[in-house]
Amino acid sequence: MNEKKDSVNRIRDILLGNNLADMENRFLKLDQQITFSLDEAEIKWGQQLNSLKEEQQISVEHLSQQLSASISRLAEELKAELASQKSKLDDLKQFSTELQSSLNAIEAAQAKQKQSLKAQFEMETASLKKLIFDKFSDLQLNKIDRSSLALLLSELAVNLSDSESKSDEAENS
């Protein structure tokens, strides 16, 4: 195998000769340039990536601060609105309590007035019943008196007519 390798190297030397070393040097230089360019590109891309990360971090922090400020502002507004609503609710509770006490006072006054009117009505009804009963009793007595008077007047009329008949008979006789 060494013989084949030596023969290949010889053929190469014959064909390319001194150019082979020059070409190897060129390939080495090209390899070094590519490696250097890749290293520079890697460093450049790394720097750009770091710069982009820093910008992104700054943007995230800025947005985070804005969001925190916005959330804080909204929280304060909500607290103020909640306090306002609580105040209104307390006012409504106080109004409801006052209204309930007013309603209770009105109901008590109505109950008292109802009792007073009921007592007055019962007194008036009793008085009216007594008056009616008295008038009915008087009417009964008057009826009896009228009946007696009618009977008396009937008897008087009969007596008068009897006496007139007797006097007419006496005159006619």
Per the structure block, which two tokens stand in for 62?
């800025």
* 168 Cα distance to chain centroid: 110
For 3, residues 6+ apart whose C-beta sits below 8 A from its C-beta are none
pLDDT category at 173 given cuts 50, 70, 90 is: low
Residues 15-46 have pLDDT tens digits of 666 666 677 788 889 899 999 999 999 999 99
- Considering only 5-19, 107-121, 145-159, which range has the smallest mean pLDDT? 5-19
Q: Check: pTM over 0.85? Answer yes or no.
A: no
Residues 88-127 have pLDDT tens digits of 999 999 999 999 999 999 999 999 999 999 999 899 889 9
Q: Is the per-residue pLDDT at 170 higher than 70?
A: no
In this structure, what DSSP letter does residue 77 have? Answer: H
For 20, residues 6+ apart whose C-beta sits below 8 A from its C-beta are 12, 13
Q: What integer pLDDT is reported at residue 94 of this predicted model?
A: 95
